[in-house]
């Protein structure tokens, strides 16, 4: 059961619902009246293929809260407002959602979202602590931009983290006497850990090519997108090595190897790729590096130096050439696509992506137009076109980088689980190559 209460983050319940359904869950949505002011119940019921329930009184079944509570394998409340948390902690059942929370013996996962002042209020802290003591699971809210433009802690956690937490609970907790999956079907979410046993290598960040001991040629990559891909792969059970040029907290369960230059990244990737089934090159690797590195700091008084560049080895293309059977090679493509009329030869992001798919010998290319607002380097958001063999395409509109990562990992998982026909070049592609 997915309970949605009335906060601005209610719109993210749509994404949570979609992810649960994609993972094979049977989702019964329950909304409070306030939630319907933030997100349409038609949206949720269409995604869940289940009617949204809102009332203790107007449902076809006479006692909907006990039916919902007894039938659920897991009750998720996202977002959980201060009111719902307070009512649940105090045992007050003033609407269908809070009545169901009291009527269920299934594990409950609360995902609070509210303004920082409310989240830090002693009453809310005590209510959350009380519920935790009673065994309720809580996915803490994140820090970031809140409604009204304020910054602070209180944002609903990422939908991917919430669904991963749900999968973890379903994997660990079974109600006594009920075999997994005998209830609503939500136990299917445990299938999210669908990449168990898969070894993956991901690169992240921009390489730095030294000019002298203090200066380098670099780029604006923050590593956010690569880290998000690594985190998503690990969440789904893969064993992940992240080869990174940036200093960020390692995602849970991910081993990080630090590198700086394209050459160092190449060595680390080739070594790790030997035993990996999946390699994702999300890093922004320099195409050129200074041919000579000055052994001492270049002195200003000597005047501007003349820097001669040489090409770096193309790591991704090398992987494509040396690919082992069954290995999935994923490249990214950072492009700047001019408005269509002015684009060189009228080329689109799709054209660039398909050209890189071939020139790099990759199975998937994740292309982003890094000149578009909110897309690519350093942003928390991205918009990508994922292209693959056999005409595969997934167009991901501007969204958080972890949602993009989930789409990339979905495409990888599809290749691993269904090596044909997506993974294999079409007749036409074979003839062209």
Residues taking part in catalysis: 219
Minimal CA–CA distance to 413: which of 236, 282, 170, 274? 236
Min separation Cβ 263 and ligand PMT, Å: 10
Q: If residue 364 lies in a helix (H) or strand (E), which one and from where to where?
A: strand 364-369
Helices within 173-310 (DSSP H only): 224-235, 262-273
Long-range contact set of residues 138-143: C-beta below 8 Å, sequence gap at least 24:
138/109, 138/110, 138/111, 138/112, 139/78, 139/109, 139/110, 139/111, 139/165, 140/112, 141/111, 141/112, 141/113, 141/114
Supply 330's token pair: 């994923």
Nearer to ligand PMT among residue 139 and residue 411 (C-beta) = 411
Q: 33 is written with which tokens?
A: 């009246």
334 binds ligand PMT (CB under 6 A): yes
Nearest to 18 by CA among 46, 47, 55, 60: 47
Nearest distance, CB of residue 99 and ligand PMT, angstroms: 44
Site string for ligand PMT, 209-248 (x = CB under 6 A): ------------xxxxxx----------------------
Q: Which of 188, 331, 361, 388 binds ligand PMT (CB under 6 A)?
A: 331
Which span (67-75, 159-167, 320-328, 370-378) binds ligand PMT, by CB under 6 A? 370-378
- Closest approach, Cβ 257 to ligand PMT, in A, equals 15
At 125, give phi and psi (nearest 5°): -60, -45
Q: How far is it, in rounded angstroms, from Cα 178 to Cα 166?
A: 18
Interaction mask 244-283, ligand PMT, x per CB under 6 A: ------------------x------------------xxx
Give whole-number Cα distances, 180 to 23, 164, 173, 175, 279, in Å. Answer: 15, 17, 9, 8, 34
Binding to ligand PMT by residue 400, rule CB under 6 A? no
378 binds ligand PMT (CB under 6 A): yes
Q: Which of 114-122, 140-148, 296-304, 375-383 is the region at the interface with ligand PMT (rule: CB under 6 A)?
A: 375-383
* DSSP assignment letter at 181: T
Distance of closest approach, residue 269 Cβ to ligand PMT, in angstroms: 8
Angle, CA of 431, 432 and 433, to the nearest 5°: 95
Answer yes or no whether residue 328 interacts with ligand PMT by CB under 6 A. no
Position 310 contacts ligand PMT (CB under 6 A):
no
**Interacting stretch for ligand PMT, rule CB under 6 A, among 159-167, 179-187, 325-333, 337-345?**
325-333
Residue with smaller CB distance to ligand PMT, 187 or 228: 228
Q: Report the SS3 class of residue 239.
A: strand
Q: Is 388 in the site for ligand PMT (CB under 6 A)?
A: no
In angstroms, what is the minimal distance from the CB of 58 to ligand PMT? Answer: 47
The correct pick among 13, 163, 284, 337 for binding ligand PMT (CB under 6 A) is 284
Residues that bind ligand PMT (CB under 6 A): 221-226, 262, 281-285, 287, 312, 314-316, 331-334, 356, 360, 368, 370, 376-378
């Amino acid at each position: 059961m997915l309970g949605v209460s009335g906060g601005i983050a209610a719109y993210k319940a749509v994404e949570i619902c979609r992810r649960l359904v994609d993972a094979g869950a049977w989702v019964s949505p329950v909304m409070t009246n306030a939630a319907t002011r933030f997100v349409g119940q038609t949206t949720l019921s269409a995604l869940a293929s289940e009617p949204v329930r809102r009332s203790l009184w107007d449902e076809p079944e006479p006692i909907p809260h006990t039916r919902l509570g007894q039938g659920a394998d897991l009750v998720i409340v996202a977002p959980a407002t201060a009111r719902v948390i307070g009512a649940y902690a105090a045992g007050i059942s003033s609407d269908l959602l809070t009545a169901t929370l009291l009527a269920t013996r299934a594990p409950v996962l609360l995902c609070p979202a509210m303004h920082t002042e409310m989240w830090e209020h002693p009453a809310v802290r005590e209510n959350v602590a009380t519920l935790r003591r009673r065994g309720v699971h809580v996915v803490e809210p994140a820090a970031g931009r809140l409604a009204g433009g304020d910054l602070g802690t209180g944002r609903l956690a990422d939908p991917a983290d919430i669904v991963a937490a749900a999968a973890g609970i379903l994997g660990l907790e079974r109600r006594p006497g009920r075999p997994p999956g005998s209830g609503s079907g939500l136990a299917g979410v445990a299938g999210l850990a669908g990449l168990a046993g898969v070894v993956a290598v991901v690169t992240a960040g921009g390489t730095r090519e030294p000019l002298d001991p203090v200066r380098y040629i670099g780029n604006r990559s923050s590593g956010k997108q690569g880290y998000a891909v690594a985190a998503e792969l690990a969440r789904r059970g893969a064993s992940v090595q992240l080869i990174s040029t940036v200093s960020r907290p390692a995602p849970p369960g991910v081993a990080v190897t630090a590198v700086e230059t394209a050459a160092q990244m190449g060595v680390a990737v080739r070594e790790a790729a030997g035993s990996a089934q999946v390699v994702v090159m999300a890093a922004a690797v320099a195409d050129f590096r200074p041919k000579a590195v000055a052994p001492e700091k270049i002195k200003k008084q000597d005047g501007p130096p003349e820097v001669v560049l040489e090409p770096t080895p193309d790591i991704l293309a090398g992987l494509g050439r040396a690919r082992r059977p069954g290995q999935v090679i994923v490249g990214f493509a950072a492009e700047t696509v001019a408005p269509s009329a002015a684009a060189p030869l009228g080329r689109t992001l799709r054209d660039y992506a398909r050209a890189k798919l071939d020139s790099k010998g990759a199975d998937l290319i994740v292309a982003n137009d890094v000149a578009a607002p909110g897309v690519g380097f350093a942003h928390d958001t991205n918009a990508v076109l994922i292209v693959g063999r056999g005409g595969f395409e997934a167009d991901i509109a501007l969204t958080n980088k972890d949602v993009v990562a989930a789409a990339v990992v979905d495409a990888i998982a599809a290749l691993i689980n269904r090596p044909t026909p997506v993974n294999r070049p079409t007749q036409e592609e074979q003839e062209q190559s």
